[in-house]
Structure formats: C-alpha cells, structure tokens
A and B are shown apart, each in its own frame.
Chain A
Amino acid sequence: MKSADWETSHNMTQHDIALLLADAADEVKIGTAPAQELIRGGRRRKCRRWAVVATTTLVVAGSTGALALTGLSGDGDRGASPASRPAASAEASEPHMRTTLASGTDAGVPWRVYIDVWKAPADTAEAQATLAAMAKFGEHPEDVSTASELVGKVAHFVHRVTGEEARTTQIADMALPEDDVLSGGEYGFVTLPLLPENDTTPRLVLGQVAKTAREVTCTWKDGTSTKVGRASAATEANAALPVIHSPKHSPYDWFACLAPKSTEYEGLKVTK
C-alpha cells in the first residue's frame, strides 16, 4: 500500500511534470494555421486513396461466387443470383456489382480490369450481409474490421485478370463514404504493370474521376497519349477504346487504360 507521503510526493511530481510539459510546449513556434494548404493537401490525399494490394493474388472463382451470392443485389433486392460464368467472361454475365473497366489483348495475352462496387449498407445487419457476400468473392475491405464500420460506406475492389488461365489479382481496395464525391478536375489514379509477374513497367493506369468528367487524357513517356472518353458510337464499335464508366453506387466514375507496349505512364489530366 502506498503511504500518504508517497502519494503527496507522487502527485506533486505529476503536477510538476505537467508544468514542465506546458513550459516546454511553449517553445514551439505556432505560426498561422495553413488552412487552405491543408484543404488542398486533403483533396490530393482524397484523390489518391488507393490501397493497392497488387501482391495479393486471388483466384476468384467467378462462377462459385456468383452462384453463392444469394439474395443481395446492389439495390438490396432479394432475387436470383446472376448466372455462373468464368471471371474473364463477358460483362453481360457478370455479378450485379461488377463492371469491366477495360479489356484487351497485349502481345497475345488477354487481360481485363474490373471493379466490384458494394452498395453502402444502411445498418449493421445489412453490413454483415454485405461482408458475407463479399467474402464469397474473396473480398473484404482492409480498413474495416467490424460490420458497423462498413455502415454508410461503399466498398470498391479492383481486380486485374490476365492470361488464358484468367489469373486474377486484386489491385485496389477502398471503402468510402457514399457522399465522398470528386468534383471538377479532381482525380485519383494508380499505375502498375499489366502482368503480376516478370513485368515492372507501369503501363496500366486505373483512375477515379468526378461524375461530371467527360474526358481524361493519359500521356505516355514516348510523347503519345490516350484519350478516355464517355461511351459513344465509336467506343461501341471498337471495344479496345477505353471508356469512363459509372459503376452503380460508387461516388466516383472509373476508367482503366493501358500504355502502348514500348512505353509507360507519364501523366494524367481531366481534359473535358
């Protein structure tokens, strides 16, 4: 048991530590709060919130996942699950929360980038159901540990599928408030190699833009550029042309495009 003397001395010590801390804290130069700079920094941070997990290779069994997903559509409807198809199959057959952002063939290797967007749950029960549904596709938001943390957040998972064997790698994971919109020329992006192995050239660009953006221009190190616009007759006619997509429930619009074989990413801008 502590003596009264010890207590007195102990409390005095803590009191004095508090005084010394206050004295030491006064040494710092406070300056003016750089509010505008912080807002700009915050916006940049918001735009680049990519939790890239490219090292995590998932073998997503699209058919298993789609069949296992019972009774949880993007609208919260309770209905039949989408038909079973391989992960790299056509968009028309994809699960309700999936959108193909871009696809093509590069040096004979088929590739595809798709995004799964999970509607923000309204309450914890709905969040639990959403997490369970995600799990059937091998997905779980990295920064969500309990169901309640997902309430009000839209979860996004971006996957890259490459090769004849449809090797699927999750390349981004983010859970965002549903009203976390971008505006004007704001954007976020990440660049990475197309192939998960033996490829270090950042040719693949994934981006987020405001829903009002009409065109994004990716510039490449060889001086060429690729314009990514909205769907049109031209893009309908040529599936290789990249397009800005509006996945249901996401506060952002999304795109993916690939640099030509001999070059790599240099810059990005919302041009319209």
Chain B
Amino acid sequence: MGVRKQAGDREFQAFVVGCWPRLMRTAFLLTGEQHAAEDLVQSTLEQVYVAWHRVAAANDPEAYVRRVMINAHARRYRRKLREFLAPRSEDAGLTHEVADTGDRIAQADDRHTLLNALAELPTRQREAVVLRYWEDLTEMQTAEAMGCSVGTVKSNAAKGIAKLRALSGLAETVTQGGRK
C-alpha cells in the first residue's frame, strides 16, 4: 500500500472515530432501530471511504457525510417502505429495561412514543425534523443535506412537527413544556 493511501486511511479512521457517536444517534432517529442505524452508518461511511480524498478536502466533511447518509436513508426507505421503519419490539433501544422508577418508566414511554411517532412520518418530514431539531442544522444546512430547497425543508419540518404534536401522549408532554 502506498504512503499516500496509508495516510488517507489514518485520516479516515480518525474521522470515523470522531463522528461515529453522532451519526449513530442521527441514524437511530431516522430508522428507529438499532441494527438499521448501524447498517445505515456503516454503509454511509463505506461510501465516504470510497470518496475520502474528496471528503477530506471539502470545507465541511460532516456536511458531505450527512448528505450521503440522507441519500442512503431515502434509497432504503423507497426499497423497504415502512417495514424498514417500524420499530421492533425486541429492539433493545425501544424496550423499558431500566424502568426501575415511575419517572424512568414515563421517560421510556416518551421515547417509545416519539420513536413510533417519527416512524409514522413520511421520510422527508422525518429527515427534516431530525436534521433541524436533533442535528440542530439551519434550514440552509438541512436543505443541503436533503438536496432540496429551503422552502421544502420549512414545509416538511412544519408538517412533521405538527404531526408529532398531534400524537397523543407526546402532545401532553410537549404542551406542558417538556420533560426537564
């Protein structure tokens, strides 16, 4: 292996270690399932490796990676439809294993409710909500990640939020000011 290639691999490795936790969380919110999230992040980063010299030279490598992941997510959704999104009851991320107090049970219920509600959203609305309110991207950054206009982001985020608010259980938490 060439020196240049080895250096590229080292850079890629450092990048992966740094961005892995955040990508996993984002992917989990997008897919609602542990293994699907891992699969999405791995697939995304393998694609990033292929174009690593270009990604590394980009002004904002993380923006590039987000774009790859959102594209990959959209493709998978089209292929597997809602089956892919439905949270699985046996999934560790969605069980209430740590419900040792009333408050933790309620907290786990909220998570479950939110993940189910997210899974009910159309793909673009879910992507817009996750990127805007979890990734905390601006509308412009979200538009770049989703490959669409700012107007489309606004529309999808607003509709997504409205649907999440409308869901029972979640609405109560939200209108009370949220869990602190």
Interface positions of A (Cβ within 8 A of B): 9, 12-31, 33-39, 41-43, 45-46, 49, 177, 179-181, 183-184
Contact = CB atoms under 8 A, between A and B. Distances in A.
B46 A17 contact: no
A45 B2 contact: no
B6 to A, nearest CB: 10
B16 A35 contact: yes
A29 B94 CA distance: 11
Contacts of B20: 30, 33
16 contacts: A13-B175, A14-B161, A17-B133, A19-B178, A20-B178, A21-B134, A23-B110, A24-B110, A27-B93, A28-B37, A35-B17, A38-B45, A39-B9, A42-B48, A42-B52, A49-B50
Contact of A45 (B26, B46, B136, B173): B46
Contacts of A22: 134
B1 interface: yes
B170 interface: yes
A28 B25 contact: yes
B25 A25 contact: yes
Contact of B47 (A19, A23, A26, A45): A45
B143 interface: no
A43 B12 CA distance: 12
A18 B133 CA distance: 5
A24 B47 contact: no
B28 A27 contact: yes
A35 B13 contact: yes
A21 B115 CA distance: 9
A123 B95 CA distance: 54
B107 interface: yes
Interface in B38-62: 38, 42, 45-54
Contacts of B130: 21
B85 interface: no
B174 interface: yes
A45 B43 CA distance: 10
B46 A12 contact: no
Contacts of A37: 42
B164 A17 contact: yes
A17 B93 contact: no
B133 A13 contact: no
A109 to B, nearest CB: 37
A67 B13 CA distance: 49
Given A13-B174, A27-B111, A21 B133 contact: yes
A142 to B, nearest CB: 15
B173 A16 contact: yes
